[in-house]
Amino acid sequence: MKQRNKDIRRKKEESGSILVMSLLIMTVLLIMTVPFLFQLSTENRLSEKSYKSLAAISLAEAGVERAIWELNHGDIETWQVDGDLRLSSFSLESGEMEVKVDLINPIEVAVLSTGFVEYIGDEVNERTVRIDLERRKSYPFKYGLYGKDRVEIQTGAETDAYFSEKGAYGDDNVYAEGNVVTGSTATSAIHVQTAGNVHGDAFVGVDGDPGTGVLNEGTIDGVLGALQDPVELPSVSVPSELPNLGDFWGEVGIVDQSGVYDEFVLGSEANVSIEGDVVLTITDRFYMDNGSRVTIEEGSSLTVYMVDTATRFYVDQGATVNNRSEDATKMMVYATDGYVGDVEIDQTTTFYGGVYAPNASIYLDNNTGFFGAIVGREVELDMNSRFHYDMSLDLFGITSKDAPYVVKSWHEVVQ
In the chain, where the domains are located: 60-137+403-413, 140-396
Average pLDDT, the chain: 89
Cβ proximity of 163 and 391 under 8 Å = yes
Model pLDDT, residue 326: 81
Model pLDDT, residue 52: 82
- What digits encode the pLDDT tens for the residues 357-412? 999 999 999 999 999 999 999 999 999 999 999 999 998 988 888 889 999 999 99
Element (H, E) at 65: helix 2-72
Model pLDDT, residue 13: 55
Q: What is the mean pLDDT of residues 277-303?
A: 94
User: Which among 270, 372, 367 is positioned nearest to 330, based on CA atoms?
Assistant: 372
CB atoms within 10 A of CB 382: 20
Model pLDDT, residue 323: 66
DSSP-derived 3-state class of residue 363: strand
CA angle 401, 148, 186 (to 5 degrees): 145
- What digits encode the pLDDT tens for the residues 68-98? 999 999 889 999 999 999 999 999 888 999 9
Q: What percent of the chain has pLDDT over 90?
A: 70
User: Which among 346, 403, 407 is positioned nearest to 72, based on CA atoms?
Assistant: 403
Model pLDDT, residue 163: 93
Residue 337: band (very low, low, confident or very high) from pLDDT cuts 50, 70, 90: very high
pLDDT of residue 165 exceeding 90, the answer is no
Cβ proximity of 144 and 162 under 8 Å = no
pLDDT of residue 415 exceeding 90, the answer is no
Q: What is the mean pLDDT of residues 150-163?
A: 97
* Residue 92 CA from chain centroid, whole number: 34
Which CA distances in Å does 22 have to 25, 28, 173, 289? 5, 10, 94, 111
DSSP-derived 3-state class of residue 291: coil
Element (H, E) at 60: helix 2-72
Model pLDDT, residue 194: 95
DSSP-derived 3-state class of residue 389: strand
Q: What is the mean pLDDT of residues 244-256?
A: 91
Q: What percent of the chain has pLDDT over 70?
A: 87
CB atoms within 10 A of CB 76: 17
Cβ proximity of 174 and 391 under 8 Å = no
- What digits encode the pLDDT tens for the residues 88-132? 999 988 899 999 999 998 889 999 999 999 876 678 888 999 999
Q: What is the mean pLDDT of residues 293-316?
A: 94
- What digits encode the pLDDT tens for the residues 26-38? 666 666 555 554 5
Model pLDDT, residue 40: 45
pLDDT of residue 8 exceeding 60, the answer is no
- Residue partners of 383: CB distance under 8 A and separation at least 6: 154, 155, 156, 157, 366, 367
DSSP-derived 3-state class of residue 28: helix
> How many angstroms separate the CA atoms of 301 and 288, rounded?
18
Cβ proximity of 368 and 351 under 8 Å = yes
Q: 33-47, 87-101, 158-172, 210-224 — which is least confidently predicted?
A: 33-47
Model pLDDT, residue 11: 55
Residue 149: band (very low, low, confident or very high) from pLDDT cuts 50, 70, 90: very high
Choice between 41 and 390, residue whose per-residue pLDDT is larger: 390
Residue 55's φ and ψ, nearest 5 degrees, are: -65, -35
DSSP-derived 3-state class of residue 142: helix
Burial 354-379 (b: 16+ CB within 10 A, else e): bbbbbbbbbbbbbbbbbbbbbbbbbb
Q: What is the mean pLDDT of residues 243-249?
A: 94
User: Which among 95, 123, 96, 99 is positioned nearest to 110, based on CA atoms?
Assistant: 99
Q: What is the mean pLDDT of residues 322-338?
A: 88
> How many angstroms separate the CA atoms of 163 and 80, rounded?
49
Model pLDDT, residue 369: 94
> How many angstroms separate the CA atoms of 379 and 365, rounded?
11
pLDDT of residue 152 exceeding 70, the answer is yes
Which CA distances in Å does 374 have to 40, 99, 181, 290, 310? 70, 42, 10, 22, 19
Cβ proximity of 405 and 135 under 8 Å = yes
